[in-house]
Amino acid sequence: MNKNIINIKGLKCEIEGKEILKGIDLQINKGEIHAIMGPNGSGKSTLSSVLAGKDEYEVTSGSVDYLGKDLLDLSPEERSWEGVFLAFQYPVEIPGVSNVNFLRTALNERNKYKRLDPVSAKNFLAMVKEKSALVGLDNKLKNRSVNEGFSGGEKKRNEIFQMAMLEPTLSILDETDSGLDIDALRIVSNGVNQLKSNENATLVITHYQRLLDYIVPDFVHVLYDGKIVRTGGKELALELEEKGYDWIKEELAV
Amino acid sequence: MSLMAVKKQIASLDLLDLKKTNLIPDLAKSAEVKLNEIGFPNRKSEDWKYTKTAQLFKKPYKTGKENPNLKLDEFSFPKMKCPTLVIENGSINAHLSCVGDVQGLSINSFVDINKEQVEKIGNISNKKENPFSFLNASHLQSGIYIHLKKKNVLTQPLHLIFINTESQVFSNTRIYVHLEEFSEMNLIQSFVNNNDQDCVTNHVSEIELAENSQLSIEKIQNVLGESHICSEYIRQLNSSVFRINTLSSAGKLIRNGLNVFVEGENCTSYLNGLFIPSDDEHIDNHTHLEHIKPNCFSSECYKGIINDKATGIFNGKVVVHEDAQKIMAYQQNNNILLSNEAVVNAKPELEIYADDVKCSHGSTTGQLDEDALFYLQARGLSKSAALQLLMVGFVDEVLQGIQVEEVKNFYSNKIESLLSSN
């Protein structure tokens, strides 16, 4: 049985002629948690945007195989329907669009794609209740406009709530810890851990080691200047935290 | 455009109804004098800078007749069973109108009103010099006087349906609405058609709100291919509440001139609007609100979605007179351009002569938020569903202000289908 979820090979991409990713190789299997760490400007967020399908980045070479499909060939919504989820670093505020209405539309569009029946109102509400409890999302927030007037912590909880609703196969968490206090960090991480199974995988992108105390990775990759320059276990994150990114830069310079 | 040329094109209009009365001709005569004095808007008229009306008078117009096969099902709100008045090609269609007997409410043609009522007509509209309103008075085809006696609160709205059923019709219609003390009602004015036809409707509403009265108007403009000059003049006395939602979804050339004179204290005024022109349509919203007395509140919110080569205009002016202390006046206009050739002219204006007031105005024009679009797509909404949701979200603020639930539902659906076809 194939355990592989995503296989990235030699991925290069650029924006407005400037190369950001300079050849990424990364393979993630079922049941694994991978963390990508790296200094500012190393290409972490670009990688997550490319995987989610943001079209301002131009992929110049390489391939991304996702469950036997060419991921780069799919539109952002098709990637979502196929089980890719990106938790945004900066979740967008959308006035006038209700959080639950939008989620119901999202679920039904996915079901339509998968030739399943639409979610019934009853099942949907039960699901909302169960999944929002997972991250302690306030009842009021569910009915408000998407992220409008939410605090930083509430936005991140809302991301994980949506992730829980969509039950993705591959979750990419882009700097989910930024803007979170210790309590919120624990709640959000707890939510992510509960969603983890042997059938799905998580890619955590972060700047700090802190988050990895809560979401414990199987593999840590260091991204620097558009390339993965080092891969190790969770202890690599601790080493980075202690020595700083300059340590990597110096080692590479040698 | 000279006045002579305008008059020539509408010379053959039959002003049938009103010849029967000997009271209205005075109104017509004085309007004619005024019109001769100020002339027709030209390029130099600041108020008409963005809307060229000369194109309306390139051909002659006629008066339409009653069409025996007219069906109005798609324009009425059957669940409400509200009193309905139908004005077809500018004349009251008695067969299709059904007003019934509503306590405290009287509805009369201008032909049948008393002298005291006749003398009110033109009093509010004359506060502003609008050539189209004078033209309306001098060529008035039919008028409706709506009077609600004091302390009557209507549970059902009154629905006026204005429809042109022939081409090349030019109709001049007018209503006068008088709400006495402590009375309340909702009024729906639907301007609709069932064919794409080249007509002009020049409509004037005069509204007099006595102390503690409340009026809400839902104004629906869905007149594909037709042109529409629509002017409202509202006079508010102490503690009255006025609310209007101008919902313009189709029209070749639409010019809304909304004039509110807040002459009492503790008044509340909500002026909201939604305009969605496409193809080469042109929708112009002019608002003019005067705070004359202290302690009042006014709020304006206009949203435009402009597609193709269409033009949308918002020109909102609030004047705060010297005595109007402690008022709050807010004005907001947001526009979304869906194509590179779409045009918006936005001009929010404030003129303040009092020193203790809270006023704000703002206008934004832009394209749909790409980040929001990507966010929704990444969560599994197809691009078209995401676009539709974003646009519905954009106009939601205006839709939520619609008072009549059935109109709100009707319009929410209408907007969704309109926006999904993009």
Where are chain A's structural domains? 32-48+75-253
pLDDT given at position B14? 66
pLDDT in tens, B317-335: 999 999 999 999 999 999 9
- Whether residue A71 lies within 8 A of chain B, CB to CB, comes out as no
Residue B422: pLDDT band (50, 70, 90) is: low
The Cα A203–Cα A224 span in angstroms is 17
Using CB atoms, which residue from B380, B395, B397 is nearest to A80? B380
Interface test with A, best of B375, B388, B397 (most A CBs within 10 A): B375
pLDDT given at position A125? 92
Residue B42: inside a domain: yes
Residues B106 and B247 in one domain: yes
Residues B211 and B84 in one domain: yes
Q: Are A99 and A145 in contact (CB under 8 A)?
A: yes
Residue B421: pLDDT band (50, 70, 90) is: low
Half-sphere exposure of B369 (CA within 13 A, CB side): 14
pLDDT given at position A26? 96
pLDDT given at position B170? 92
Q: Do A105 and B390 touch (CB under 8 A)?
A: no
The Cα A82–Cα B411 span in angstroms is 35
Q: Do B380 and A145 touch (CB under 8 A)?
A: no
Place of tokens 């059902």: B156
Residue B346: inside a domain: no
Helix (H) or strand (E) holding B408: helix B405-420
- pLDDT higher at B60 or B2: B60
Residue B362: inside a domain: no
SS3 content of chain A, % helix, strand, coil (to 5): 40, 30, 30
Exposure letters B355-370 (e unless 16+ CB within 10 A, then b) = eebebebebebeebbe
Which residue in B has a C-alpha nearest to residue A110's C-alpha? B380
> A80: helix, coil or strand?
helix
Which residues form the domain of B374? 370-422
pLDDT given at position B218? 96
How many contacts (CB atoms, under 8 Å) link A and B? 76
Q: Quick one: average pLDDT of B194-219?
A: 94
Residue B102: inside a domain: yes
Residue B305: inside a domain: no
Q: Is the pLDDT of residue A177 over 90?
A: no
pLDDT given at position A254? 67
What CATH number labels A32-48+75-253? Answer: 3.40.50.300
Which residue in A has a C-alpha nearest to residue B380's C-alpha? A77
Cβ within 8 Å of residue A229, ≥6 positions away: A222, A223, A248, A252
Residue B355: inside a domain: no
Q: Is the dihedral of CA B132, B137, B142, B148 positive or negative?
A: positive
Q: Quick one: average pLDDT of A206-223?
A: 92
DSSP codes, A81-148: HTTEEEE-SSPPPEEEEEHHHHHHHHHHHHHHHTT-PPPPHHHHHHHHHHHHHHTT--HHHHHSEETT
Helix (H) or strand (E) holding A51: helix A44-52
Q: Is the pLDDT of residue B418 over 80?
A: no
Indicate the residue among B214, B230, B264 that finishes a domain.
B264
Task: Give the mean pLDDT of chain A.
Answer: 92
Q: Do B378 and A77 touch (CB under 8 A)?
A: yes
Residue B1: pLDDT band (50, 70, 90) is: low
The Cα B246–Cα B343 span in angstroms is 20
Domains of chain B: total: 2
Indicate the residue among B264, B280, B312 that finishes a domain.
B264
Residue B359: inside a domain: no
Place of tokens 């119901």: A104
pLDDT in tens, B89-144: 999 998 889 888 899 999 999 988 888 998 999 999 999 999 999 999 988 988 99
Residue B34: pLDDT band (50, 70, 90) is: very high
Using CB atoms, which residue from A79, A86, A92 is nearest to B372? A92
Tokens representing residue A149 in the block: 């007037």
Q: Are B303 and B395 in contact (CB under 8 A)?
A: yes
Using CB atoms, which residue from B385, B396, B397 is nearest to A105? B385
**pTM across the whole model:** 0.86
- For chain A, the straight-line distance linking the first and the last C-alpha, in angstroms and rounded, comes to 42
Q: Is the pLDDT of residue B23 over 70?
A: no
Task: Give the residue from B59, B83, B251, B86 showing the smallest Cα distance to B165.
Answer: B86
Half-sphere exposure of B219 (CA within 13 A, CB side): 24
Residue B412: pLDDT band (50, 70, 90) is: confident
Residues B194 and B69 in one domain: yes
* β-pairing verdict for B142-148 and B170-179: parallel
Min Cα–Cα distance to chain B from A104, Å = 10
- pLDDT higher at B368 or B258: B258
Which A-chain residues 94-153 have CB contacts (< 8 A) with chain B? 94-97, 102-103, 105-107, 109-110, 145
Q: Quick one: average pLDDT of B359-384?
A: 93
Indicate the residue among B229, B264, B299 that finishes a domain.
B264
Q: Are A60 and B343 in contact (CB under 8 A)?
A: no
Residue B289: inside a domain: no
Using CB atoms, which residue from A53, A91, A106 is nearest to B381? A106
pLDDT in tens, A86-140: 999 999 999 889 898 899 999 999 999 999 999 999 999 999 999 999 888 888 8
